[in-house]
Structure 1
Amino acid sequence: MALGLNVQEPDEACADDNCPFHGTLSVRGQTIEGEVASTDMEKTVVVEREYDVKVPKYDRLMKRRSRVPAHAPDCLDLAVGDTVTIAECRPLSKTKSHVVVAIEEGDD
């Protein structure tokens, strides 16, 4: 199935209806790259990304981070520390509006 993204479909199949590859979930909007910070919830991971914000008063950069909950399909084997790409989708719960679409290679 073509997602409209330049990602590889996982080899393993799953029966998850909210999987963008094997289910009916469509992705649209922004894509974010970040690191998996937590896998404690069922079918959900927390993806964290750090970015710099300029502070004009001190003429320096300040580190900020954002944490985005994302749906983890059964066909992707995710662990804490993996670098992943998440894509926006319809709201899946009160806080989840993103789904993991790819695990980046070469960060091990």
Structure 2
Amino acid sequence: MVKNIGIQVKAPKKTCNNRYCPFCGSLSLRGKLIVGTVVSHKGKNMVVVEREYSRFVVKYKRYERSKSRIHAFISDCMDVSDGNKVKIAECRPLSKTISFAVVEVSE
């Protein structure tokens, strides 16, 4: 059974028994929604998502490209590989570095 998480995303086709899954468990989401690319999927139930953005440098009056890496929780009901575009949502801290959860995978 997949529940409504309050965000307009495609629900996963599979189900899981993980209590930290936003769709099958009891993890609530709040705050930011970020779109990025999966860089690493080596950890257990964790992915590293990289997002690129431009920021203004006042001294030179130009923009520079920057990127940041965010650790996000991934549940068992989603299939993710390196290079996939994902949408992550902010949640409560799940560990020292994980405060986001993957809510949608787009190929």
Verify same fold: TM over 0.5: yes
CA RMSD, 1 decimal = 0.9
Question: 91, 96, 99: which is aligned to 1:97?
Answer: 99
Q: Which runs of 5+ in 1 are unaligned?
A: none
Aligned 1:28-107 pairs, distance under 5 A:
28-105=30-107
Q: Which runs of 5+ in 2 are unaligned?
A: none
**Matched pairs, number:** 105
Q: Deviations over 1:10-39 (max 9, x none)?
A: 111111111000111111111110000111
- SS of the equivalent of 2:15 reads coil
| Residue 100 of structure 1, CA deviation | 0.1
Query: What percentage of residue pairs aligned between the two structures are identical?
Result: 47
| Residue 58 of structure 1, CA deviation | 1.9
* TM-score, normalisation: structure 1: 0.93
Q: Work out the CA distance in 1 between the residues paired with 2:11 and 2:47.
A: 19
* TM-score, normalisation: structure 2: 0.93
